Amino acid sequence: MSPTDSAAWRAALSVALPVAAYGISFGALSVASGLDVWQTSVLSLLMFSGGSQFALIGVLAGGGTGGAAIAGAALLGARNSFYAMRMASVVGRRPIWRTLVAAHLTIDESTAVAISQPPGRAQRIGFWVTGAAIFIGWNATTLAGALLGDLLGDPRAYGLDAAAAAAFVGLLWPRLHARQPIAVAVAAAVVATALTPALPTGLPVLAAAAVAVVVGLTDWLGRREP
Amino acid sequence: MTVWQVVLLAGIAVLALKIAGYLVPPAVLEKPRISRTSDLLTVALLAALVAVQTLGQGQAVVVDARLPAVVLAAILFALRAPFIVALVAAALCAALLRAAGLAV
């Protein structure tokens, strides 16, 4: 194995192992939100995108409607479309079955590991190894967490509701690298909190998405390109 | 809508978005306005979810044991702690504050 190949393997596995481990918390939080073990496992198998999965169970746990839960999960999943556009040149568009498998494995981590490798074979190793390892690990730990969560009882006594909020902090943190995303994050948090008493559960989060659309289209607070 | 319908419809929607990305012409990605808005959309949704999960209780806004727990997790993430460590610390913080009767 060439040095770039083994570097890609190392990067893939060092990202995949901790991410797969926190499927435990997803499984436990999901059953605490009222989903059963089967529904929880199907979410990890079919949806396979952490942010969308946490969003869906968060809206349902808060008493939101099914429509709001689906919209929240889909809007958070929209970024995967952009990862897919980027990964199409790495994994190729043919054969179709391979592209479909690649599409399913296209998430934050597999994309991030792939694009941080040198172009060619190392990028493909980064994508496939990260995606496959997380898929296997995430689904195994989701099931373990769901079974464990069923035994635990009242989730608040264990602080699981706080852990759910902390999970979103962890997903958000790496994205706060410049003035513009920080401003959008603060504004979105304020909008969502302010609208919580006024709108049905789940909708304040979607309303906060409007902040991103306005700032994104006008490039307010954006970096001036030299 | 049953929980099963929500799970399946949302799962199919998220998967379809991934597949759609492999079908669009690469030129769309080159438009900075579109990729920037997509990045910011993710940031806005995650930040809104942090706020609602920390302070929301149905349609009420309440300050309870979740707030100090989330602040602790944010500090740990800033110190580059692993995901699972920050989550366990947040859960322990909230659980201990509740057990000690210092917060609800």
pLDDT digits (tens, 9 = 90+) for B32-76: 887 788 788 889 988 998 999 899 887 899 999 999 999 999 999
Examine the domain organization and report whether A181 and A171 are in the same domain. no
How wide is the angle at C-alpha A44 spanned by C-alphas A208 and B53, nearest 5°? 35
How many residues comprise chain A? 226
| Domain final residue pick, A139, A154, A175 | A175
Burial class, B67, CB count within 10 angstroms (exposed 0-12 / middle 13-18 / buried 19+): middle
Q: Residue A221: which domain range? A: 176-226
SS3 content of chain B, % helix, strand, coil (to 5): 75, 5, 20
How far does the CA of residue B98 sit from the closest CA of chain A (Å)? 7
Q: Which of B9, B33, B40 to mutate to test the interface with A (most CBs of A within 10 A)?
A: B40
Residues A125 and A221 both lie in one domain: no
B80 touches chain A (CB under 8 A): no
Residues A99 and A193 grouped into a single domain: no
Question: What string of pLDDT tens digits covers the 226 residues of chain A?
Answer: 788 899 889 888 877 877 777 788 899 989 989 999 999 999 999 999 988 999 999 899 888 899 999 999 998 888 888 889 889 989 988 899 999 999 999 998 899 888 878 889 999 999 999 999 999 999 999 999 999 988 877 778 888 888 878 888 987 898 898 999 999 999 999 999 999 999 877 788 888 988 988 998 888 888 654 3
Q: Of A155, A175, A195, which residue constitutes the final position of a domain?
A: A175
Cβ distance B66 to A161 less than 8 Å, yes or no, reads: yes
**A152/B22 Cα distance (integer angstroms):** 42
Mutation site, A35, A46, A81, A195, interface B, largest B CB count within 10 A: A81
Contact A166 B33 (CB under 8 A): no
- What ipTM was predicted for this assembly? 0.88
Q: Would you say B10 and A73 are in contact if contact means Cβ atoms under 8 Å apart?
A: yes
Q: Are residues A167 and A202 in the same domain?
A: no
Verify that A97 and A184 share a domain, yes or no.
no
Q: Which residue type occupies B57?
A: Q
Residues of B in contact with A24 (CB under 8 A): 84
Q: What tokens does A145 get?
A: 């967490």
Separation CA B20–CA B17 (nearest Å)? 5
Structural domains of chain A, count = 2
Q: Do A85 and B90 touch (CB under 8 A)?
A: no
- Is B85 near chain A, with CB under 8 Å? no
Q: Are residues A85 and A156 in the same domain?
A: yes
Report cis status (omega within 30 of 0) of the bond before A181: no
| Cβ pairs A/B, distance under 8 A | 321
Do A100 and A184 lie in one domain? The reply is no
Q: Which residues pair with B61 in a beta bridge?
A: B56
Q: Are residues A161 and A184 in the same domain?
A: no
